Structure 1
Amino acid sequence: MDFDTLLAHYRAKACVISVEFFPDGSYGNIRVVAGNQAHCADMEALLHHPFVPGSPYETCFPKNQNFEDHCYRCVHSGQPIHAYVDLYMMGLWLNMFLIPLESDRPNFGYCIYCYDVTPKANTTAMADLSGETASAVLKACIKLRGAEDIKKAFQDVVEDIRVICGSDHCCILLTDSEKRECSIFGESLREGAALLPMSRYIEGFYAIAETWPKTLAGSTCIIVKDERDMKKLRLQNPIFGSILDLANVKSIVLFPLRHGNETLGYMWTLNFNVDDVLKIKETLELTTFFIASEIASYKLLDKLSIMSSIDSLTGIKNRNVMNNRVDRIVAGAEPVPKAVLFADLNGLKRMNDRQGHTAGDKMLRSAAAILQGIFLEEEVYRAGGDEFVLLISNITEDELQKRVEKIRWKSNMTEDVRFSIGVCYGEPDVRRAMRLADLQMYDDKNSYYSVHPELKYR
């Protein structure tokens, strides 16, 4: 066959790929047997020497098991294949087309590989999908974008994807490299499936997940369709392979969830309909792109929520959260607390002036820890620089006094933490209760400084 003449009609980068295949369904050598002018020029620029027809494909393109599988499927099935791939290791996007050709050699198949590489995602190419895939992806995007309860929306999307894939199990797993932990963000398990929920494996699972980047080796995903693929995976990643065997997993498609240069986690589907592997890959390839973006937004909003509600120095709730709770109580949306407690640190300014703010910060953290340890069931608020507040939901007056004494006892066990405390019990007006507790706290502070005048403001 005159491949050179055939390729001369292609203006885009194009080459002819040969695939050797065997009766048992496996394949052997994959080679680039010819290339058009655009391909040869590209190879010469990359390889710094002329393109050599008949070269193993990995001398022209990065070695990739998914690419090999695409080539084999194209020549073996006689069906064209299109894929739009994020070459994240290279910071590029690949738009590729595989078109099968007739072969005049037994056990050899040929296809035209036409491709284009860009540094940024092309929305037109990304949207060039089958109607069925586009519908599935659009449905997922609408659910995620219009959701008030984002966690429930992700759960619904995971369930939809499991059904599309005809699989036993689908899961979104988030990874935290700092804490070396994994968390389940969404999971769907088919009723009657011979698999266990991910919660049975989650403890210590980060050690498994951190092996996946090496197994991916630059690929966009891991696809295991049958026992032959599973054998390859066991050789590449024996630990992961053994876990899949123990879990009774026969097939898996696993995609990393990347946003920018960060891997947020992974999404997989287990024991899927292998006859639809290309449709499943196409669906997940684009769906995970949007899922990763939504997860990144969710994590950012969650982080901003934490920053707006948590005192960064002590780790307890801040004044914003306290004020919001008081507003809800006044509006009748939350029960009036049984008691209000104000606790103010004595000698913080003196500590900052004499030993520095590092020592003062340590003193504040110790104070917060004492209060939180005694009122484990309650929220402790840092209402100001050295002032802490508790709105106590359910407590008797006797128990409240016991805990106040415990605060004093525990603080006296430390070198420098000393509290002035004011409480108000049983007042139905929460704002009046806070004023009364505040006044009592200042009376206690004046008493403290009358005994220790040397500590006052110096």
Structure 2
Amino acid sequence: MDFQEFVNNIEPMTCVISVEKFSDGSYGNIRLVAGNKAYVDSIENPENISSNQMLKNKFIPDSPYENYIPKDLNFEAACYQCAIMKKPFHTYIHPERYSFWIDMYMMPLASSEPNKGYCTYTQEFTMEKNSERMSNLSADISAAVLKTSFKLKGTKDFKKSMDEVLADIREICNADRCCVFLTDFKERKCSVLTQVIAPGLDIKPMEVHMRENAVDFFDIVETWPDTIAGSTCLIIKNESDMEVLKARNPLWHASLMKADVDSLVLFPLEYNDEILGYIWAVNFDTDNAMRIKEVLELTTHLIASEIANYQLMNQLRIMGTVDMLTGVYNRNAMNNRVDWFIRSNEKKPDTFGVIFADLNGLKQKNDKEGHGAGDRLLKGAAEILNDVFYDGEIYRAGGDEFMIIDCEIDEAELVKRVEKLRRDSEDPKNISFALGYYFDGGEGDIRKAMRTADERMYKDKERYYALYPERKRK
């Protein structure tokens, strides 16, 4: 067949690809045999949106594809499926290395050469994500994506829904383990959001593996973007792929070998061009790799969106309940907690203590050293209260006043801690509090407890300034 004449009769950007086939079923060189004018322009024409993102800008027929894009195991797998296995392939993706989305179609071609297969590769670019193109799916892929969507949308228990979705993904992959990591590249932190292990397998939880790793696990996580190398994901199916990984990332490769990983799928979870985390599956059904890739390319968009929404809601909840300066609960959270004690039908604690702690000397500190020094004093006060009442709920009631509700403490221990804090407050070198408390032994009257603790706190403040009149605010 005259491949050049063949592609010249196709209007969209199209080339013919050859895949070298070995007797053991593996493959060798993948080459761009011929391209029509539209395809060649995508490489050579500087006005084409893809031209400036190619490794070389001169198309030479029958050249290795790596002359134009970095080695991409996902692209190779698609070429192999189409050219050697004779299965058509279609996907709509946004590789990280490009500024555009690619709608790609691959069709197998007949070959008279026993050691070489051929296929066509046709592509279209869109600058923005096109939802209609993304929804052009086979029935089984659509069913898997819809199942994920239904489980995530409108859920009241995000963690439970994520567990269920990940269990479905593990079954699709037929993997030993699936895991979702959350990442914070600014703080260099990562954590396991959820993980699922195949029934009957004795595998260490991912948290244990992370702790036992010879290096800080984030040192490995931060290598993943470069290891994915501008593609949409990383899929390791066999020893040959593992050798590619070893060359790219020896640190991670060593970690995987230690964990007895033979194959893996790794997808970034991106939202608004920010990596929120990763989803991965290890020791999966490699014969089903392309279907797994198609499912995850879409479900990861849904999962990332829900994670972003979950994190946003958490941030809003924190902003609504946490005092941003001291890190303890704010007055809004205190009012909600008190309202719970008064109105909720849920079982209340059998006993509880209420402590009011008013910070002495804040006004003087602000007046003499500025509000920055006053803020540091408030932070220090909150740290002390957290240390002393480690089993309680610390609230900044307002200004220089804190309230603590402790449902775990008995009366003797409460008195002991308050008295120690009061003695420490006598030392002018220490942060000083005026303190009042009330222990409810079973009445369950939060308003009485607060009123009494507040009255006692003001009496303690009067006592303090009577002893140390020079420290009284002016």
- C-alpha contact (below 8 Å) 1:86/1:93 kept by paired residues: yes
Partner of 2:435: 421
How many angstroms apart in 2 are the aligned matches of 1:355 and 1:456? 17
> Aligned with 1:286: secondary structure?
helix
Residue aligning to 1:389: 403
Q: Which residue of 2 aligns with 1:115?
A: 123
Q: Structure 1 residues 303, 269: CA separation in 2 closer, same or farther (over 3 Å shift)?
A: same
**Alignment TM-score, normalising by the size of structure 2:** 0.91
Show CA shifts across 1:73-118 (max 9, x none).
2111111111221222323211111111112334222111000122
**1:79 matched residue in structure 2:** 87
1:38 maps to which residue? 38
User: What's the counterpart of residue 398 of structure 1?
Assistant: 412
1:286 aligned to 2:298?
yes
Match of 1:243 among 241, 247, 255: 255
Q: Once the 2 structures are TM-superposed, how far is the Cα of residue 42 of structure 1 from its aligned partner?
A: 2.2
Partner of 2:349: 335
Aligned Cα root-mean-square deviation (Å): 2.1
Distance 1:89 1:68, change over 3 A: same
Match of 1:366 among 336, 357, 380: 380
Q: Would you say the 8 A contact 1:21–1:107 is kept in 2? A: yes
Deviation digits for residues 1-33 of structure 1, max 9, x if unmatched?
Answer: 122332233221111112222223332322222
- The change in CA–CA distance for 1:319 and 1:191 in structure 2 (over 3 A counts) is same
Q: Which residue of 2 aligns with 1:207?
A: 219
| Pairing 1:435–2:435 present | no
- Displacement after TM superposition at 1:50 (Å): 5.6
Q: Assess if the C-alpha contact under 8 Å between 1:183 and 1:202 holds in 2.
A: no
Match of 2:171 in 1: 163
- SS of 2:84's partner is helix
Counterparts of 2:141 and 2:311 in 1: how far apart (Å)?
Answer: 27
Q: Given that residues 70 and 81 in structure 1 are in contact (C-alpha distance below 8 angstroms), is that contact kept between their aligned partners in structure 2?
A: yes
Query: Counterpart of 2:28?
Result: 28
Residue correspondence of structure 1 range 345-356 to structure 2 within 5 A: 345-356=359-370
Report the Cα offset of residue 428 of structure 1: 4.0
- Following superposition, the deviation at residue 452 of structure 1 comes to 3.6
Check 1:57–1:39 CA distance in 2 against 1; reply closer, same or farther (3 A cut): same
Structure 1 residue 438 displacement after superposition? 1.5
Q: Is the 8 A contact 2:178 2:280 kept in 1?
A: yes
Deviation at 1:336, TM superposition (A): 6.7
User: Partner amino acid for 1:193?
Assistant: L
Letter in structure 1 aligned against 2:461: K
User: For residues 451 and 412 of structure 1, do their structure 2 counterparts lie closer, same or farther at Cα, with a shift above 3 Å needed?
Assistant: closer
**How do 1:150-189 and structure 2 match up within 5 A?**
150-189=158-197
After TM superposition, the structure 1 stretch with the greater mean CA deviation from structure 2, 42-51 or 274-283, is 42-51
Alignment CA distance shift 1:108-1:414 (3 Å) = farther
Tell me if structure 2 keeps the 8 A contact 1:420–1:442.
yes
Question: Is residue 370–residue 411 contact of structure 1 (8 Å, CA) maintained in 2?
Answer: no
Q: Supply the distance in 1 between the matched residues of 2:452 and 2:111 (Cα, whole angstroms).
A: 92
Q: Identity rate of aligned residues, in percent?
A: 47
Deviates more, 1:388-397 or 1:212-221: 388-397
Identify the range of structure 1 (167-176 vs 47-56) with the bigger mean alpha-carbon deviation: 47-56
Q: Secondary structure at the match of 2:398?
A: coil
* Paired residue type of 2:14: A
The answer as to whether partners of 2:84 and 2:118 remain within 8 angstroms in 1 is no
Give the AA of the match of 1:84: Y
**Residue 119 (structure 1) shift:** 1.9
Amino acid at match of 2:413: E
For residues 30-51 of structure 1, give each alpha carbon's deviation from its aligned partner in whole angstroms, at most 9, with x where no partner exists.
2222212211222222269663
- Write the distance in 2 (CA, Å) between the matches of 1:107 and 1:372: 72
Separation in structure 2 between the aligned mates of residue 336 and residue 456 of structure 1, nearest angstrom: 39
Which of 286, 301, 308 aligns to 1:274? It is 286
| In structure 2, distance between residues paired with 1:314 and 1:368 | 6
2:142: which partner in 1? 134
Q: Is the 8 A contact 2:424 2:432 kept in 1?
A: no
Q: Distance in 2 between matches of 1:291 and 1:71?
A: 28
Cα distance, 1:64 vs. partner?
Answer: 1.8
| Aligned counterpart, 2:157 | 149
SS of 1:146's equivalent in the other structure is coil
1: CA distance, partners of 2:70 / 2:243: 22
CA contact (8 A) 1:420 1:444 kept: yes
Moved more, 179-188 or 217-226: 179-188
- Unpaired stretches in structure 2, ≥5 consecutive residues: 46-50
The range that moved more, 54-63 or 379-388, is 54-63
Which residue pairs with 2:265 in the alignment? 253
CA distance in structure 1 between the aligned counterparts of 2:270 and 2:360, rounded to whole angstroms: 49
Question: Of the candidates 229, 239, 243, which is equivalent to residue 231 of structure 1?
Answer: 243
Give the secondary-structure state (helix, strand or coil) at the position aligned to 1:383: strand
Using a 3 Å threshold, how does the CA distance of structure 1 residues 318 and 113 change in structure 2: closer, same or farther? same
So what's the TM-score if we normalise by structure 1?
0.94
CA contact (8 A) 1:167 1:272 kept: yes
2:60 aligned partner, one-letter code: V
Give the residue type in structure 2 aligned to 1:147: T
Match of residue 357 from structure 1: 371
Write the distance in 2 (CA, Å) between the matches of 1:100 and 1:340: 75
| 2:463 equivalent in structure 1 | 447
Return the offset for 1:361.
Answer: 1.1
| SS of equivalent residue, structure 2 residue 210 | coil
Residues 1:105 and 2:113 aligned together:
yes
